[in-house]
Structure 1
Amino acid sequence: MVAKIPASGKGLSQRTGSSGGLVAYLEKEVQGQWFSLEREDVPAAEVTQTLDHNKRNLNRDADKYYQVILAPSQTELRHIGSDPEKLRAYTRAAMEQYAANFGKGIEGRDLVYFAKVEHERTTNHQDRAVQLGDMEKGEAKEGPQTHIHVIVSRTENLARYSERKQASELDRKNPYHLSPLTNHKNTQRGVVTGGFERKQYSERVEQAFDQAFAYERPLTETFRYAHTMQHGTPEQCAALQVQAIQEQQRQVERQAAVQQSVSEQRPQLPGPVPAQGQQPAAPLEQPRPALTPTIEQAPAPERQRVRGPRM
């Protein structure tokens, strides 16, 4: 599972204006079918309007929204059959983790976000196959490529903020501005408290998938393993590799034990069932061993004593 939050930049990566450009781009595969925390099939025009109006006290050059990309692996997709309903439920669970990861005590309903499931991906200049010349840029990738795009407002849900404010549930003057690209991580002092730990978020969405779909994730498929292999020391990499080998050996031993147990408990096949009104066939007699015939031996002939002539 890859949870990616692209940085702001030029073109569609520019986050300081309207979200309309990104929303229109994500209509390329299929129109509509946007969903939020509580709604399905939200029109694209409503997505843009809702995101663009959920802002307060942000400078002109400040980011107004962010994008979260959730990309399950092909093994994970096969585990859930690429079921769109399960992917939508998982997306909502991942956005609960997104809210919790800011450390401000907020929930998914304190966010304004819309998501869309896509089933196709094409190559770009960053793909290894393109760099090696094996594929052209823009070619469709093979195998299951289902993934989710989420557009989330930087400002917390203003409608819910106002309701809680009127109900005296909040004593803060302004709504939260939530940036997953902040450099603050669980800060306790200063102007900014909380923050966003992107590494922790990747681990949390991975665990959310495993818990939701009872997925037994091998060590080699974890974010911790991939991150350590890329950024860890040689000693850390070697230790994880040994741990992965030991895990694979235990898995092989468990599978062998299960197969042996099944073979031992396999019931004997019953005999043929007699037709209605028919007497059950008598059990077949076991063949008796052939008897070796006894051959009576003829008595040995008596020896006659022959006397010689008298001298």
Structure 2
Amino acid sequence: MGVKYQKSAANFVAYLEKENNETALASCEHFFSQYEDSVSSNEVSTRIDANTSNLHKNHPKFYTITINPSQKELAHLTKHSSNLKDYVRELMKHYAASFNREIYGRKVTVDDLVYFAKIEHKRTFKRTDKAVLENRPIVAEIKQLKQEIKKIESGELTGNIARYRLKIKELEESIPYRQNGQIIVQGMEKEGIQTHVHIIMSRKDATNKHSISPGSKQIASEVFLNGKLIKVGFHRDGFVAKAELCFDTMFQYRRNYAEHYQARKTFIKDPHLYFSNIYKLSVQEKRKAFEIIRPLREKRIIPAISITKAQLALKVFKRLKKGLNHAIQSASIEL
């Protein structure tokens, strides 16, 4: 049996309206497209759902992109919402150009896309976040102990309440992840600047005749379809690199080596070369690079390393690979 995808975009669109449900009307962020500044959620669902000609139940009807600027990048922007709107519209031109696809004998352009974007300013910890996953068993044990204390107090159980409370205190002190002193649990709002963008786009082009899929595993090739030789593929790697360059160019952002997409790729392929490149930076840029990866030192993924040291312990590289990929991300593009 094939995978069954959602018949409608309505549920995802409704999910993206969650912040507006808690925000005063004047402060609401509306959906926007390449040429429209305010599109209602109903219209977004209707237009995406209507653009699904000849798609079967085992075909995705739409795709989503999440744009996650780092807090450092967001701090550089002067007007988050308007800046990111401009950025998305420029970025989607690069997105269209990343398809190895022709429509009516020409390359795909942004005018062929049916997409809508929504800016959000908050994030909450999800059940799949590392902090939530690692805190959960301890939190559950604490909850169980508190319930048992209540039963002892009511006479349902017998036991030493003082010992129970001592155990609870020990467990609370062992909690690995906190935020502002509070134990991190699912649903807790994340601190700091959390502005990000969700983009939903139809799989079909604006004429509802041609399928354009960023989910293709092929980069650039040709296949026979209905007796015709057509180009297929999506340059995902190139698109992510363009997204970074687009941000830097538009907002005159000076990106540190550790923030570069290419640097992240270098680390994955050759950690020694990655750190060698860092140590070749100027003192100021080197310091910034280690500030960027500091969260990993705080989480004990890597040891504290002085930026003046010339040697690196190779034994930390395996642990680094588990977490550094996230810490050195720049504007993250998730397809």
User: Which among 172, 175, 192 is matched to residue 143 of structure 1?
Assistant: 192
Q: Residue 122 of structure 1 corresponds to which residue in structure 2?
A: 124
Q: Residue 114 of structure 2 corresponds to which residue in structure 1?
A: 112
Distance 2:5 2:68 in 1: 21
Distance 1:211 1:249 in 2: 25
What code does the residue aligned with 1:225 have? A
In structure 2, do the counterparts of structure 1 residues 252 and 92 end up closer, same or farther at CA, with 3 Å as the change threshold?
same
> How many angstroms does 1:145 deviate by?
0.3
Listed one character per residue, the Cα deviations across residues 53-85 of structure 1 (whole Å, up to 9, x for unaligned) are: 112222232111011100100000000035200
In structure 2, do the counterparts of structure 1 residues 227 and 132 end up closer, same or farther at CA, with 3 Å as the change threshold?
farther
Distance 1:112 1:92 in 2: 12
Distance 1:188 1:137 in 2: 45
Q: Residue 156 of structure 2 corresponds to which residue in structure 1?
A: none
Higher strand share: 2
What code does the residue aligned with 2:20 have? V
Distance 2:37 2:247 in 1: 21
Q: How does 1:293-308 map to 2 (within 5 A)?
A: none
Distance 2:282 2:56 in 1: 53
Q: Residue 98 of structure 2 corresponds to which residue in structure 1?
A: 101
Choose between structure 1 and 2 for higher RCO, CA contacts under 8 A separated by at least 6 residues.
2
Q: Residue 177 of structure 1 corresponds to which residue in structure 2?
A: 211
Distance 2:212 2:39 in 1: 23
> How many angstroms does 1:251 deviate by?
4.3
Q: Residue 62 of structure 2 corresponds to which residue in structure 1?
A: 65
> How many angstroms does 1:142 deviate by?
0.7
Is the partner of 1:193 in helix, strand or coil? strand
Q: Residue 239 of structure 2 corresponds to which residue in structure 1?
A: 201
Q: How does 1:1-311 map to 2 (within 5 A)?
A: 15-30=5-20, 33-81=30-78, 83-104=80-101, 105-133=107-135, 134=177, 135-158=184-207, 175-191=209-225, 193-229=231-267, 231-232=268-269, 236-249=270-283, 251=285
TM-score (norm 2): 0.62
Distance 2:231 2:69 in 1: 31
Listed one character per residue, the Cα deviations across residues 82-115 of structure 1 (whole Å, up to 9, x for unaligned) are: 5200100101111111111112211111100000
Kindly, what percent of the aligned residue pairs are identical?
32
CA RMSD of aligned residues (A): 2.3
> How many angstroms does 1:194 deviate by?
3.1
Q: Residue 167 of structure 1 corresponds to which residue in structure 2?
A: none
* Structure 2 unmatched ranges of 5 or more: 22-28, 102-106, 136-176, 178-183, 288-335
Is the partner of 1:143 in helix, strand or coil? coil
Is the partner of 1:228 in helix, strand or coil? helix
* Structure 1 unmatched ranges of 5 or more: 1-8, 160-174, 254-311
Q: Please say if residues 247 and 253 of structure 2, whose CA atoms lie closer than 8 Å, have aligned partners that are also in contact.
A: yes
What code does the residue aligned with 1:200 have? G
Higher helix share: 2
Q: Please say if residues 30 and 37 of structure 2, whose CA atoms lie closer than 8 Å, have aligned partners that are also in contact.
A: yes
Q: Residue 151 of structure 2 corresponds to which residue in structure 1?
A: none
Distance 1:20 1:132 in 2: 33
Q: Please say if residues 266 and 273 of structure 2, whose CA atoms lie closer than 8 Å, have aligned partners that are also in contact.
A: no
Aligned residues: 223
Is the partner of 1:132 in helix, strand or coil? helix
Structure ID, larger Rg: 1
Q: Please say if residues 122 and 137 of structure 1, whose CA atoms lie closer than 8 Å, have aligned partners that are also in contact.
A: yes
In structure 2, do the counterparts of structure 1 residues 224 and 15 end up closer, same or farther at CA, with 3 Å as the change threshold?
farther
> How many angstroms does 1:250 deviate by?
7.0
Is the partner of 2:54 in helix, strand or coil? coil
Q: Please say if residues 63 and 202 of structure 2, whose CA atoms lie closer than 8 Å, have aligned partners that are also in contact.
A: yes
> How many angstroms does 1:242 deviate by?
1.2
> How many angstroms does 1:190 deviate by?
4.3
> How many angstroms does 1:219 deviate by?
1.3
Distance 1:77 1:120 in 2: 13
What code does the residue aligned with 2:72 have? T
Is the partner of 2:281 in helix, strand or coil? helix
Q: Please say if residues 120 and 197 of structure 2, whose CA atoms lie closer than 8 Å, have aligned partners that are also in contact.
A: yes
In structure 2, do the counterparts of structure 1 residues 237 and 87 end up closer, same or farther at CA, with 3 Å as the change threshold?
same
Q: Please say if residues 100 and 235 of structure 2, whose CA atoms lie closer than 8 Å, have aligned partners that are also in contact.
A: no
What code does the residue aligned with 2:13 have? V
What code does the residue aligned with 1:63 have? P
Q: Which moved more, 1:193-202 or 1:106-115?
A: 193-202
